[in-house]
Chain A
Amino acid sequence: MADTSLQHRDGEAAAPLRRPSRVSALLHRSEALRGYLLMSPTLLIMILGIVAPFVILLAMSTWTRQGFDFDTTFTLANYERTWNEPIFGALLSRSFWVSGVATVATVLLCYPMAYYVAFHVHHRKMMWLILMTLPFWTSYLLRVFAWKVILGYEGVINSGLMTLGWIDKPLEFLLYSKTAVIITLAHAWAAFAILPLYVSLEKIDKSLIEAATDLGDGPVARFLRITLPLSMPGIIAATFLIFIPTTGDYITPALLGGPDGAMIGNFIQLQFGAVNNWPMGATLAIVLMLWIAAIAAVFLFVTRKAQEKIA
C-alpha cells in the first residue's frame, strides 16, 4: 500500500513512509495489547495447566464415588464430611503446625545468612549465593534420605551420642516423628528463603542505615526500625514460598513422619490412590487451598499492622 500523498512541500517527491499493517498499527497504539501479547505464551499455559485442572477439581469435589465410577449429581456432602469428621481437622491443623514451624525456622535461620551476604560480603557475592544453594542441586528425595541416615535409629546423631556415652539407647523421637519432618522441611526449602531474603536486603540503601545511626539508633534499634521493615517483602515472599508448598507436601512425611507425622498431603494421596475416592481427594485439595488463602490473608494483614506499629 504505497502512499503517494506524502510529498515534500516543494513538490519534490520524498520517499513515501511505509504504511504499517493494521495489526502492527493497532499494537503500536495500545500498550495494554502489547503487554498481553508478550504474556500470551505464559497465559496460555496458565489457563491450560492451572485454571482448567482447578475447574475439574472443583467439579469433581461435588460428585460422589460409586464403586469405580462417579455419581455426577451435585452434592456438598464431601465438604460436610471434612467439616464434621475430626480426622480431617486434625490432619489439617497438624499440617499447618508442621509446615508453620518449618517455615518460621527456615526464615529465622536463613535471614542471618542472607544478611551476611548482602551487607558483609563485598566481592564474589554470586559465589556465596551459589555455595549456599549448592545442596539444592541434588534431588529432593536424596536429601530426605540423607536426613534419614542422620536422624535414624542407628543414624549419625544417635551413634555419635552413644559413642560419647551421653545416652544409653538411641533417641526414638528423632526419626518417624513430627520433629523429623520439621527438620527435613526446614533444610530442604532453605534456598527458597535465602534468595528472596537476599534480594530484599541487598536492595536496602546503606545510607538509610547510616542515617538511622546518625539519628541516634544503636544496632538493635536500627535493625528493628529500618532493616527489618525494609526487608519485609523478602520475608513475606520467603514465608509464602515455603509455607504453601510444604503444607501439602507428602514425600517427607511419608518417608520420615511415621504414624503421628502424617499430613494432609498423605491423606489426599491416599484418596486418589489406595482409597480410590477421587471426589473426596478433590474436596480436601480445595479445602486445603481455601485454608492456605485464609492464613495468607491473615498473615499479610498482621505483618502490615506490625510494620505500622514499629514505624
Chain B
Amino acid sequence: MTKTDAFISIQNVSKFFGTFRAIDDISMDIGRGEFFSLLGPSGCGKTTLLRMLAGFESTTAGEIFIDNQPTSDVPPHHRPVNMVFQNYAIFPHLNVRDNITYGLRKQKLSRSKRYEMAEEMLEMIKLPDYGTRKATELSGGQRQRIALARALILRPKVLLLDEPLGALDKQLREQMQLELRALQRQIGITFVFVTHDQEEALTLSDRIAVMSGGKVLQVDTPTGLYETPKTSVVARFIGNMNFFDGTVRRNGAAAAAIETEGLGTIQVPVADLDKPDGAAVQVALRPEKIALSATRPDAAEHAVSARLDTSAYLGERSHFYVNLEGRDEPVAVSQPNTSRFNAANQAPSGTEVWLSWSSDAIVVLDPE
C-alpha cells in the first residue's frame, strides 16, 4: 500500500457479503475539494462504497486512505467524514436546532456558542427562525437541508451524500442541485455523492465514477463521460446512443475507414484508431449529433438516406426513429425545435429523409 497525493485514495478495495461480491477490486483517487459522484444502477455497489468511506461497512480487502491516513481500523465515530443519509435520519425527538448541533457535544462549547453556530447554519441553508421547530413538522426539502447543516457544522474533511435528492419532487430537486453545487464551491469541502440519476451526476459533479456490478467502469469528467465513453456500457448508461457494428479497413498511413452496417463506410483519422485491419468495432453516434433534413445537405461530411418510422414531439425537441437500408434496428435522431414550425414534426411515416453528421461526432468502441 502506498501513499498518494490524492485526498481520498481507494486502493484495491473489495467487499464480500458472504459469497456475494459487492465491491470488486476498486482503485481510484478523489482529489481535495472535488465534487465526486458515484453513478450506477441500484445494486452496483455505490452505496456500499460510500458506507465503507463512512466506516459503516468494513473492507474485505484493500485499504482506503483519507488525507493520507489509513482508515480500516478507525470506527465511524472517529472518522473525519460526515454523511447525509438517504432518508435524512433527522432525530424525531429533537428540535431543528438540537438536530443541527447534535455532533458538537464533544467539542464542549458553551450553549450560546452552539446556538450561534446553529443560527449560522440555518442562515446558510436559508431556514432562519426554524431552530425551535419540531423535527416532525418539516417538509422533505427542509429535512434534506437540515441533514446537510447537521453534517457541515462539524467541518468534515469529506461530506458523503447518499442519494440525498432522490425523495424530492422534480422541481425542488433541480433547485437543490444548484444550491448544493453552489454550497460546495463556497465551502470547498470534498463531496462524495451517490446517485443513480445520470442527469443529476452530470449537473453536479467535477468527476464521476460509473459503477456496475461492483466494478468501476470509467472515472471521468461529465463531458469526458458523455463525449468519449470508453465502453459501450458507459455509453449506454449516460444518455442515449446509437450503436453500429463495423469492421476496420486500413488504407494507408493517414486515414482508416470503418465499414458499418447501415452507415456505409466512414473515414476516421488514424490517430483516433488503434485497431488493426479487419478488427471488429462498434461505432457509436449520439442521437442529437445527427442532423435530419429533407434533401441531402451539400456540406455534410457524412450523409445517408433513410425512411422515417415514428416521431415523438417533446416540445423543446423532437425524437425521430428512422430506418436505414441493411439494418433492422431503427436509429434514434434528436432535433431541437429551433423554429416554431418544424416540418419534420408533421412528416408521415415512410417519408424519405437524410441523416448527416460530422466526423468528430462518432466514437469507436470495442464490441460488447
Contacts and interface: CB of A to CB of B under 8 A. Distances in A.
Interface stretch (B81-89, B205-213, B312-320): B81-89
Interface of B: prevailing SS: mixed
Contacts of A211: 83, 85, 89, 91
B153 to A, nearest CB: 9
Contact of B82 (A207, A215, A221, A311): A215
Given A213-B77, A216-B77, A217-B77, A207 B89 contact: yes
B77 A210 contact: no
B17 to A, nearest CB: 13
B93 A214 contact: no
A229 B93 contact: yes
A41 B39 CA distance: 57
Interface string B86-100: 110101111000100
Q: Which of B54, B76, B154 counts the most A-chain CB atoms under 10 A from its CB? A: B76
Interface stretch (B101-109, B110-118, B245-253, B277-285): B101-109
Q: Nearest 6 pairs between A and B by C-beta?
A: A215-B103, A211-B89, A207-B89, A214-B83, A213-B76, A213-B77
Contacts of A215: 77, 82, 102-103, 150-151, 154
B56 interface: yes
B83 A230 contact: no
Given A208-B91, A211-B91, A218 B85 contact: no
Interface of A: 205, 207-208, 210-218, 221, 225-226, 229-230, 307, 311
Given A207-B85, A214-B54, A215-B154, A230 B93 contact: yes
B57 to A, nearest CB: 11
Contacts, number: 58
Contacts of B150: 215
Nearest to A222: B77
Q: Which of the four size classes fits the interface of chain B?
A: 20 to 34
A222 B77 CA distance: 10
Contacts of B56: 210, 213
A258 B342 CA distance: 100
Contact of A221 (B81, B93, B105, B151): B105
Nearest to A207: B89
Contact of B103 (A205, A216, A226): A216
Given A214-B54, A215-B150, A307 B93 contact: yes
B91 A214 contact: no
Interface in B308-350: none
A225 B101 CA distance: 13
A311 B91 CA distance: 10
B74 to A, nearest CB: 12
11 contacts: A207-B86, A208-B89, A210-B56, A211-B85, A211-B91, A212-B102, A214-B151, A215-B150, A216-B77, A226-B91, A229-B93
Contacts of B82: 214-215
A210 B102 contact: no
Given A210-B85, A211-B89, A226-B91, 20 more contacts: A207-B86, A207-B87, A210-B76, A212-B102, A213-B56, A213-B77, A214-B54, A214-B76, A214-B81, A214-B151, A215-B77, A215-B150, A215-B151, A215-B154, A216-B77, A216-B154, A229-B93, A230-B93, A307-B93, A311-B94
A253 B56 CA distance: 51
Contacts of A225: 102, 105
